Amino acid sequence: MNPDFLRYSCQIALPGFEEKAQLLLQKARVLVVGAGGLGCPAAQYLAAAGVGNLGLADFDIVSVGNLHRQILYTPEDAGEKKVSIACERLQKQNPGIKLIPHDIRVTSQNVMDLLLQYDIIVDGTDNFDTRYLLNDAAVILNKPVVYGAIYQYEGQVAVWNIENESGVKTPNYRDLFPNVNASQIPNCAEGGVIPTLAGIIGCIQANEVIKYITKTGELLVGKVMIFDAQTLQSRIIKIGEVTGTHIVRLTETVFVPEISAADLKRELQENAVELVDVRTIEEREDFNIGGQHIPIDELYNQINDLDKNTKTVFYCASGKRSAEAIKFIKKRFPDAPFFSLEGGLKDWRN
């Protein structure tokens, strides 16, 4: 055995794997987008398995409230850049591979250049805009994507955009979800998530990457696996053999103006800003920081009643729904001085 492969001896011993599969892993270029609940376990096992070139893309910082599922970080890392910490830890875990940090927010302006550098993409994102953006860019560039998603006790995994034997592409994310109203779907901060689910789904994503690179096993192509952490049952839903979409261009990224909790607290003392709470009445009664209450479902019918000349900050539990509100408003009134509270009331309380 190649002495450099000693740490991989157990996987090389697998029937049908051997050193030739390990060489494929060594030459592979894998990008993990999102160094959070899914990205941490996926990247950790890809690094351990010997993926030779492993890129991580994330622009966020470590938050104590996410440590229960983001297993590469410690409380001492709070406030530090996720991608830097993750690459440092993974490099120590396996000094024989190359870790490439991408400390960026993935947008329509940089996604094509980013994906071009890699063979396969792991989608560990937690928002629909980036998920659709990765999907569409990958389709245009003919790159496969290993999709994963978690919410409360349920997780999903699928492999998108593989060329089948007939030279036709298999389904992608838009075949499963043509359009999603992101404002109506809570994220982990709002809806909750069992931490072990992130590890399970992230590991399955890593497993699909290894299968794709080494050409072993049957990929989750043309179907989506749904896993229930409470019952430990899973089911496979077939989507189809070929894609029904025709993606030729990217949706331009809409930038959401944000304001930090610290800056907002200061401006409120100066009476220089108005507030709009876009949460439900139940959430508002539980806790709020004042201002108008316009649930996001009603906001779309009241958009013309908003004061377009006054600086206004929209807020929710995590910043997700308020960001969706700003995106919608900016399409109608691009110059309105409207902002989303970064991190929502979660950051405000912290």
pTM, entire model: 0.86
What CATH number has the domain bearing residue 182? 3.40.50.720
Strands (E), the chain: 29-33, 53-57, 98-102, 120-123, 145-151, 154-160, 223-228, 233-238, 258-259, 274-277, 292-293, 312-315, 338-341
What is the per-residue pLDDT for 65?
86
Read off the pLDDT of residues 177-228 as tens digits, 9 standing for 90 and up.
Answer: 987 755 555 666 667 889 999 999 999 999 999 999 999 999 999 999 999 9
> To 10 degrees, what angle do helices 39-49 and 82-93 make?
30
The answer to which of 52-56, 63-67, 91-95, 130-134 has the lowest mean pLDDT is: 63-67
User: Are 179 and 267 members of one domain?
Assistant: no
User: Are 218 and 143 members of one domain?
Assistant: yes
Identify the active-site residue in 10, 40, 87, 188: 188
Q: Is residue 53 part of a domain?
A: yes
User: Are 82 and 193 members of one domain?
Assistant: yes
What is the per-residue pLDDT for 108?
94
Count up the domains in the chain and report the number: 2
User: Are 294 and 163 members of one domain?
Assistant: no
Read off the pLDDT of residues 219-278 as tens digits, 9 standing for 90 and up.
Answer: 999 999 999 999 999 999 999 999 999 999 998 888 899 999 999 999 998 877 999 999
Q: Is residue 246 part of a domain?
A: no
Q: Is residue 252 part of a domain?
A: no
Percentage above 70 pLDDT, the chain: 96
- Confidence grade of residue 9 (pLDDT, cut at 50, 70, 90): very high
Distance CA 20, CA 8 (A): 12
User: Are 206 and 272 members of one domain?
Assistant: no
User: Are 230 and 281 members of one domain?
Assistant: no
User: Are 216 and 299 members of one domain?
Assistant: no
Residue predicted with more confidence, 350 or 67: 67
- Confidence grade of residue 164 (pLDDT, cut at 50, 70, 90): confident
316 is catalytic: yes
For residue 33, what are the domain limits?
Answer: 3-238
Q: Is residue 247 part of a domain?
A: no
Q: Is residue 27 part of a domain?
A: yes
User: Are 95 and 220 members of one domain?
Assistant: yes
What is the per-residue pLDDT for 253?
84
Final residue belonging to a domain, choices 210, 238, 266: 238
Distance CA 291, CA 341 (A): 13
User: Are 162 and 267 members of one domain?
Assistant: no
Residue 75 makes CB contacts below 8 A (sequence gap 6+) with 64, 67
Identify the active-site residue in 10, 40, 87, 316: 316
Residue predicted with more confidence, 145 or 18: 145
User: For residue 155, which of 79, 83, 232 has the smallest C-alpha distance?
Assistant: 232
Distance CA 123, CA 157 (A): 10
Q: Is residue 171 part of a domain?
A: yes
Question: Which residues, listed in sequence order, are joined to residue 102 by a DSSP beta bridge?
Answer: 57
Q: Is residue 244 part of a domain?
A: no
Final residue belonging to a domain, choices 203, 238, 273: 238
- Assess whether pLDDT exceeds 80 at residue 71: yes
Q: Is residue 253 part of a domain?
A: no
Distance CA 133, CA 108 (A): 7
User: Are 264 and 221 members of one domain?
Assistant: no
87 is catalytic: no
User: Are 330 and 198 members of one domain?
Assistant: no
Residue 167 class from Cβ within 10 Å (0-12 exposed, 13-18 middle, 19+ buried)?
A: exposed
User: Are 7 and 121 members of one domain?
Assistant: yes
What CATH number has the domain bearing residue 266? 3.40.250.10
Read off the pLDDT of residues 286-323 as tens digits, 9 standing for 90 and up.
Answer: 999 999 999 998 988 899 889 999 999 999 998 989 99
Distance CA 51, CA 271 (A): 54
